[in-house]
Amino acid sequence: MAGQTSGPGNIAVPTIEQISADRITELAEKYWAPHSKEKHLDFDPNVIEDIYMQDIRGSNFSIRRIMVLEFSQYLENYLWPNYKPGASYSHMLSIVIMVNEKFRERVQVWQKA
């Protein structure tokens, strides 16, 4: 999986082809991608658990996996809108990890009203 390098430590950035073929992109299409909004499945907390266990924790917090999640707008369109008090540990940690990724990439985290 070759990609361009960028940023601190020369992290290999996923290519468009890699992102398009990724399982995260498939999940995003089903659950949160803005361009497929009219076809979204209902919120499923198991999706968050699965992503956390496989793609975040299961990848040993791989920056490449987290970059794909950031590119898919996971925080803005799935984690944050579906957050409720008492959310699972995986849900809360996923929010923290995605906010941290935005800071790492120097991307604005919160939109100003």
Give per-residue pLDDT as tens, 22-43: 999 999 999 999 999 999 999 9
CA distance 63 to 8: 11
User: Is 111 part of a structural domain of the chain?
Assistant: no
User: Is 110 part of a structural domain of the chain?
Assistant: no
Tokens read off for 15: 């290519």
pLDDT value at 111 more than 80: no
Q: How many domains does the chain have?
A: 1
Domain of residue 24 covers 13-104
Q: Of 20, 6, 24, 18, nearest to 106 (Cα)?
A: 6
Please state the φ and ψ torsions of residue 35, each to the nearest 5 degrees: -75, -10
User: Is 109 part of a structural domain of the chain?
Assistant: no
pTM of the model: 0.84
Other residues' Cβ atoms within 10 Å of the Cβ of residue 101: 18
User: Is 5 part of a structural domain of the chain?
Assistant: no
Under a CB-based contact definition with an 8 Å cutoff, are residues 30 and 42 in contact? no
Give per-residue pLDDT as tens, 52-83: 999 999 999 999 999 999 999 999 999 999 99
User: Is 3 part of a structural domain of the chain?
Assistant: no
Under a CB-based contact definition with an 8 Å cutoff, are residues 24 and 51 in contact? yes
